[in-house]
């Protein structure tokens, strides 16, 4: 037994949350990497020069020979070649140029073609064996409540809302499977884009993507705050072309800028609740709803959903990492959780 434990220390098996906004990697029982899914690409040399945090620092500050690229879009791989290069670099940076086994989480509504792209990309990046798991399932497994892990194997209903960068995954899970689900392309990036569009249309102010993201984290909310605030936003005036600043309130951002995407998420959630079988609806009434993903950190979102549904809403510690931790837990306990993996004809 001691020999087997020592073998695990040197294992190159990986669990990967290959998200639109962030790439999170689990290895040997812990998260070893959490960086933006961003690549800086030198067009003159046809090479990736920076990835992750280093590439993010270059957004909006590069010359014409360097392109900032996002290999993931709406939760799936948009540019396989760049995604492969990013994965190769990450795998190398965490201590190895290959991985014997990789489990990757994907949106629940992913197509068979997208599954193949993910699998091929991971294999080209060095994996010998690739498995896929649906994001809401991984998020549910990654939740710990009162010191215990949420049990997705028992025949009990658990409702998960995972709000990532590119997609929001809403699912009801029972007996190691997804009973009903909705995957929509309205999530964290849509909120950022809504803020960019609002400032441009209403104030003729153009700001950068990083500025909009930071502003979202600080000022955006889905429910009235105890103390509404005002924030200064600095960008470029669309009319004069000169640097300018505007003062925007949290009320304005909530009720004008991001109201539409929040309403879409809420409406989709309510629609899915209407499809839940009665016995599972009873479980959800007793257990409540779980929020995971970076979007769970949006101020007041839990209160808003609780008010709309009359149900308890739970947000685990570090909800951004729940999907990666769940994927890693499946990797480390594969014999127990093999039933939760997505089936694919290529594996049969």
**What is the predicted pLDDT for the residue at 2?**
41
Note the pTM of the prediction, 2 decimals: 0.91
**What is the predicted pLDDT for the residue at 146?**
74
Three-state DSSP class for residue 236: strand
Main-chain phi, psi angles of 153, to 5 degrees: -85, -25
Contact at 8 Å (CB) between 43 and 65? yes
pLDDT band at residue 144 using 50, 70 and 90 as cut-offs: confident
In the predicted model, what is the mean pLDDT of the chain? 91
CA–CA–CA angle 280, 283, 287 (5° rounding): 140
pLDDT band at residue 100 using 50, 70 and 90 as cut-offs: confident
User: What DSSP state is assigned to residue 152?
Assistant: S
Classify the phi-psi angles of 30: left when phi > 0, otherwise alpha if psi is within -120 to 50, otherwise beta.
beta
Q: Mean pLDDT throughout 62-79?
A: 92
Statement: residue 169 has pLDDT above 90: yes
Question: 28-58 pLDDT, tens per residue?
Answer: 999 999 999 999 999 999 999 999 999 999 9
* Structural domains of the chain, ranges and CATH numbers in brackets: 2-138+323-347 (3.30.420.40), 149-186+260-319 (3.30.420.40), 188-259 (3.90.640.10)
Statement: residue 294 has pLDDT above 50: yes
What is the rounded distance in angstroms from the CA atom of residue 171 to the CA atom of residue 190? 20
What is the rounded distance in angstroms from the CA atom of residue 263 to the CA atom of residue 244? 31
What is the rounded distance in angstroms from the CA atom of residue 94 to the CA atom of residue 207? 35
User: What DSSP state is assigned to residue 187?
Assistant: S
pLDDT band at residue 127 using 50, 70 and 90 as cut-offs: confident
Radius of gyration over every alpha carbon of the chain, rounded to an integer in angstroms: 21
Statement: residue 190 has pLDDT above 50: yes
Statement: residue 346 has pLDDT above 70: no
Give the Å distances, CA to CA, from 83 to 23, 99, 111, 118, 250. 11, 16, 18, 9, 36
Three-state DSSP class for residue 96: coil
**What is the predicted pLDDT for the residue at 41?**
94
pLDDT band at residue 96 using 50, 70 and 90 as cut-offs: low
* Helix 259-273 and helix 188-203, axial crossing angle in degrees, nearest 10: 150
Q: Mean pLDDT throughout 102-117?
A: 91
Bridge partner residues of 104 (DSSP): 16, 132
User: What DSSP state is assigned to residue 74?
Assistant: T
């Amino acid at each position: 037994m001691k020999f087997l434990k020592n073998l695990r220390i040197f294992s190159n098996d990986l669990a990967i949350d290959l998200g639109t906004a962030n790439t999170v990697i689990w290895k040997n029982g812990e998260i070893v990497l959490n960086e933006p899914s961003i690549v800086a690409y030198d067009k003159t040399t046809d090479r990736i020069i920076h990835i992750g945090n280093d590439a993010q620092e270059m957004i909006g500050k590069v010359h014409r020979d360097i392109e900032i690229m996002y290999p993931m879009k709406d939760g799936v791989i948009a540019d396989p070649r760049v995604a492969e290069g990013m994965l190769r670099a990450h795998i190398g940076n965490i201590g190895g140029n290959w991985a014997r086994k990789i489990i990757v989480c994907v949106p629940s509504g992913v197509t068979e073609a997208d599954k193949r792209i993910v699998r091929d990309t991971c294999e080209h990046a060095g994996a010998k064996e690739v498995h896929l798991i649906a994001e809401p399932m991984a998020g549910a497994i990654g939740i710990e409540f009162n010191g215990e892990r949420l049990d997705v194997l028992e025949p009990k209903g658990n409702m998960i809302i995972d709000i990532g960068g590119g997609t929001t995954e809403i699912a009801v899970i029972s007996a190691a499977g997804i009973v009903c689900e909705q995957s929509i392309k309205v999530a964290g990036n849509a909120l950022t884009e809504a803020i960019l569009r609002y400032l441009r249309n209403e104030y003729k102010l153009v700001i950068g993507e990083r500025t909009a993201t930071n502003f979202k984290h600080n000022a955006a909310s889905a429910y009235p705050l105890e103390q509404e605030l005002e924030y200064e936003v600095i960008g470029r005036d669309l009319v004069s072309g000169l640097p300018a600043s505007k003062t925007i309130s949290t009320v304005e951002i909530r009720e004008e800028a991001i109201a539409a995407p929040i309403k879409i998420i809420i409406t989709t959630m309510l629609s899915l609740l209407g499809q839940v079988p009665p016995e599972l609806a009873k479980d959800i009434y007793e257990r409540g709803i779980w929020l995971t993903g970076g979007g769970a950190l949006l101020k007041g979102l839990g209160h808003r959903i609780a008010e709309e549904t009359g149900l308890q809403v739970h947000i685990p510690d570090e909800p951004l990492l729940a999907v990666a931790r769940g994927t890693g837990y499946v990797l480390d306990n594969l014999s127990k959780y093999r039933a939760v993996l997505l089936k694919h004809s290529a594996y049969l």
